Amino acid sequence: MPIKIIYVMNSYKYKLIYLPYICILLVSCSPALNGILIDTREPALNPIDFENRSIALYIAVEGVGADSQTDYIRDFYFASGIASKLEEELELSEGAVYIYTYYPPRDSIIDTEYIKSLYRQADSDIVMLIDSVSISDSEVINSRYFIDGGDYGNNDKVKLYENKSLLKNRINVYYEATADIISQINYRDTIFWSVISKDVSFNTSQIERNLTVSALSVIMSEAGRDIAGRFFDQWIPEYRYFTVYRNSVWRKAFRYAEAFEWEKAIDIWTAELGHEDKYRAACAAINISIGCEMMDRPEMAIEWLDAAEQIYDLKKKYNLTGYRARLEYSIEEKKKSGGDSN
């Protein structure tokens, strides 16, 4: 029966996305609100110190037969995704992170001695054990007929099945010096995949059996890379929005901001602080606050935010709660790292 899998993974990712912090009600006589795209650092969800340490991944071998072989292939692609992301982030050569197999103890107890035996086998500083990997039974969320003039010939009637499944797994990370767990990840993600069949009577029980090796390689490799990304800080694209009055001076300041020439932009906005229009002066102070944030000076940014609120009652036009919270978070993170916030 002619069947083809079409790509395969479009997962829900549980990531925090910072929406624009500053919302302004614009009217015809108001200034414009212009945004620039920046990259901001998101701290690692599961930080691990990999510096000068070798890494080994272990996948379990359980049972025999076709089902066991499929499970092994699935887990291998998952481990390969983790390994490739680790090599990329740590700037290692391809293949530097080794993948091994292990046979779980009969009593299912993985104790310190067992972990040490895995260290000896791999001769590595950090060991990651991948277990409890599962893909749930699929749920058909949509199906429809259409005429396909491509792979199946001209004007053939085929059916598209759109499905979703739940992917779950657990990773335990151990450090050789103590054989203790230094991180544990319980991962859940929804995966979406589609099947096209020329046989319009193709039923849902057949769909699960046709999740092919090539489809598994895409799903599991992407999931592995996603998990490995949690060990590292990530750079996330965000917008910052600046008030721009309709004159050459404010437009010039914004051009400096676009070029990340913050001191030049701040000089222009500082000259606007004494303007008789208090709202305009407060907008300049907020722009200065964002400029200070961009120069990695969150405490100074909060001082200018306070100044803006003293100049004008901004609650009528702005919601600055989220922006203030972000600045406070940045200050706390710099304190933890021993950095100077100013």
Which domain range does residue 246 map to?
32-38+237-336
Q: What is the pLDDT of residue 203?
A: 56
With a cut of 50, say whether residue 257 has pLDDT above it.
yes
Answer with the one of 186, 206, 229 that is the final residue of a domain: 229
- Residue 191 forms part of a structural domain: yes
- Residue 99 forms part of a structural domain: yes
Q: What's the CATH code of the domain at 157?
A: 3.30.160
Residues pairing with 143 in the sheet: 161
Same structural domain for residues 201 and 241? Answer: no
Q: Which position has the higher pLDDT, 147 or 313?
A: 313
- Residue 103 forms part of a structural domain: yes
Answer with the one of 229, 258, 279 that is the final residue of a domain: 229
Same structural domain for residues 192 and 290? Answer: no
Q: What is the pLDDT of residue 1?
A: 33
For the chain, give the mean pLDDT: 80
Same structural domain for residues 217 and 244? Answer: no
Phi, psi angles (nearest 5°) of residue 183: -165, 145
Same structural domain for residues 100 and 216? Answer: yes
Answer with the one of 194, 229, 264 that is the final residue of a domain: 229
pTM exceeding the 0.75 threshold for the entire prediction: no
Same structural domain for residues 179 and 242? Answer: no
pLDDT tens digits for 114-155? Answer: 888 888 889 899 999 998 888 887 788 888 877 665 554 556
Same structural domain for residues 222 and 277? Answer: no
Same structural domain for residues 164 and 302? Answer: no
Which of 79, 82, 131 is closest to 110 using CA atoms? 131
Count of C-beta atoms within a 10 Å radius of residue 258: 14
Burial 34-63 (b: 16+ CB within 10 A, else e): bebeeeeeeeebbebebeeebbbbbbbeee
Same structural domain for residues 181 and 287? Answer: no
Same structural domain for residues 244 and 219? Answer: no
- Residue 216 forms part of a structural domain: yes
pLDDT tens digits for 33-78? Answer: 899 988 877 788 889 999 889 999 999 887 666 667 778 888 999 9
Q: What domain count does the chain have?
A: 2
**Residue 167 binned pLDDT confidence (cut-offs 50, 70, 90):** confident
Same structural domain for residues 224 and 241? Answer: no
Are the C-beta atoms of 305 and 320 separated by less than 8 Å? yes
